[in-house]
């Protein structure tokens, strides 16, 4: 809104310019969007998958997941795309949150597997359809599929790494604490 509606030029300094990026643009560009459709679709998916991640892992894990998958997807996009590119949007973080929400809820229950398959197909179709302007190259809008794939891979890597952290007792394990609190 600040960029498009109020024409505040300083907002564009938050975009990730691939030619000469500033360190903060890898994070701030995940909060900037090209247009209303881009913003509303990303907000919808961040709400859906962010809520799932927050329910399973907590508020801090949600924020860290969003920042790490979004900034990581931007870093990989910066390395892979031409220097004329400009990246903005939360699509890398959305795919990261989707992957995390699926992996932390995975079990061998057939209903969960069916839910993941149906939800996964829906998400991939809708996010790819809705994320029209994740990367801007020159004046043409293009979808940054590098950010989508890398966000998902970083999300999977985060789940793998966090699952390898040893907890000394159930008192230190957030999942064990959450289960105790539900009884």
pLDDT digits (tens, 9 = 90+) for 24-81: 999 999 998 887 888 888 899 999 999 999 998 999 999 999 999 999 999 999 999 9
In a domain, 23, yes or no: yes
Catalytic residue among 29, 87, 91, 150: 91
CA distance 15 to 77: 13
Residue 171 zone, left/alpha/beta (φ > 0; ψ -120 to 50; rest)? alpha
In a domain, 183, yes or no: no
Note whether 72 and 150 are within 8 A (CB). yes
In a domain, 114, yes or no: yes
In a domain, 176, yes or no: no
Q: What is the pLDDT confidence band of residue 169, given thresholds at 50, 70 and 90?
A: low
Which has more pLDDT, 151 or 125?
151
Confirm whether 91 is a catalytic residue.
yes
Q: Which residues contact 55 (CB under 8 A, 6 or more apart)?
A: none
In a domain, 125, yes or no: yes
pLDDT mean over 152-177: 75
Structural domain of 50: 1-164
With 70 as the cut, is the pLDDT of residue 21 above it? yes
With 90 as the cut, is the pLDDT of residue 6 above it? no
Catalytic residue among 18, 33, 38, 148: 148
Confirm whether 33 is a catalytic residue.
no
Q: Which residues contact 42 (CB under 8 A, 6 or more apart)?
A: 33, 89, 90, 91, 94, 130, 131
- Paired with 136 in beta bridges are 86, 141
In a domain, 172, yes or no: no
In a domain, 107, yes or no: yes
Domain count, the chain: 1
Q: What is the pLDDT confidence band of residue 182, given thresholds at 50, 70 and 90?
A: very low
CATH (domain of 160): 1.20.1540.10
CA distance 171 to 174: 8
């Amino acid at each position: 809104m600040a960029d498009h509606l109020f024409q505040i030029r300083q907002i564009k300094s938050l975009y990730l310019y691939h030619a000469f990026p500033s360190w903060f643009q890898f994070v701030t560009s995940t909060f900037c969007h090209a247009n209303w459709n881009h913003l509303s679709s990303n907000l919808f998916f961040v709400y859906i998958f962010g809520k799932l991640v927050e329910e399973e892992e907590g508020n801090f894990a949600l924020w860290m997941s969003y920042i790490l998958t979004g900034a990581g997807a931007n870093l990989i996009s910066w390395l892979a795309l031409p220097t004329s590119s400009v990246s903005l949007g939360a699509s890398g973080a959305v795919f990261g949150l989707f992957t995390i929400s699926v992996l932390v809820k995975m079990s061998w229950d057939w209903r969960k597997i069916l839910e993941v398959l149906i939800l996964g197909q829906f998400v991939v179709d809708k996010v790819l359809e809705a994320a029209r302007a994740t990367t801007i190259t020159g004046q043409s809008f293009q979808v940054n599929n590098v950010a989508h794939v890398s966000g998902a891979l970083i999300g999977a890597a985060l789940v793998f790494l966090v699952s390898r952290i040893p907890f000394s007792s159930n008192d230190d394990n957030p999942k064990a604490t959450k289960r105790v609190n539900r009884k």
